[in-house]
Amino acid sequence: MVMTVTRQNIMVNIRGTQADEQDSNTMELYTEGMLTHSDGKYIIEYDESELSGMGNTKTLLTVEGERVQLKRTGPVETEFVFLKSRVFETAYETPFGMMQMSVLPTQILSDVSEESGKIDLEYVIRIGDQQAVNKLNINYKKIPKA
């Protein structure tokens, strides 16, 4: 059996919202990225922006059925696995040290193809006794070859 792997340039729009008891903060980023499709798995790869406070950080978003994995490498290192109603415990490495956190997804929607796609995540994140509701909306489109 031959496994087909396709890689293509995409334009990615990332919109993130974080809300806690006092405040709500939304950030949006448009950037070029890379989409890899192999064996039913879609991997979206892009570089974070200085504006997000995560400059020089690479993000890999892997969509496989109902499972979504978010992995960041660089000055900010973390990995989240989103499975509906499953708590994910992880260590969050920051320039200020390691922090333990838990993530509880409340919504995971993905509609992905090689041409375009949309991933909507909503989750509760808890660090110590602090808690926030996060939303991450990611849309991408294939960049046509010139």
pTM of the full structure: 0.84
The pLDDT tens digits for 14-66 are: 999 999 888 889 999 899 999 999 988 999 999 987 766 666 789 999 999 88
Q: Residue 103's pLDDT is what? A: 92
Distances, alpha carbon 95 to alpha carbons 57, 76, 99, 103, 142, in Å:
12, 7, 11, 21, 34
Is a pLDDT exceeding 60 seen at residue 1?
A: no
Q: What is the mean pLDDT of residues 115-121?
A: 96
106: left (phi over 0), alpha (psi -120 to 50) or beta: alpha
Question: What are the extents of the domains in the chain?
Answer: 5-142
What per-residue string of b and e applies to 101-129 under the rule 16 or more CB within 10 Å gives b? bebbbeebebebeeeebebbbbbebeeee
Four-way CATH pick for 5-142: 1.10.10.10, 2.40.128.20, 2.40.37.10, 1.10.3720.10: 2.40.128.20
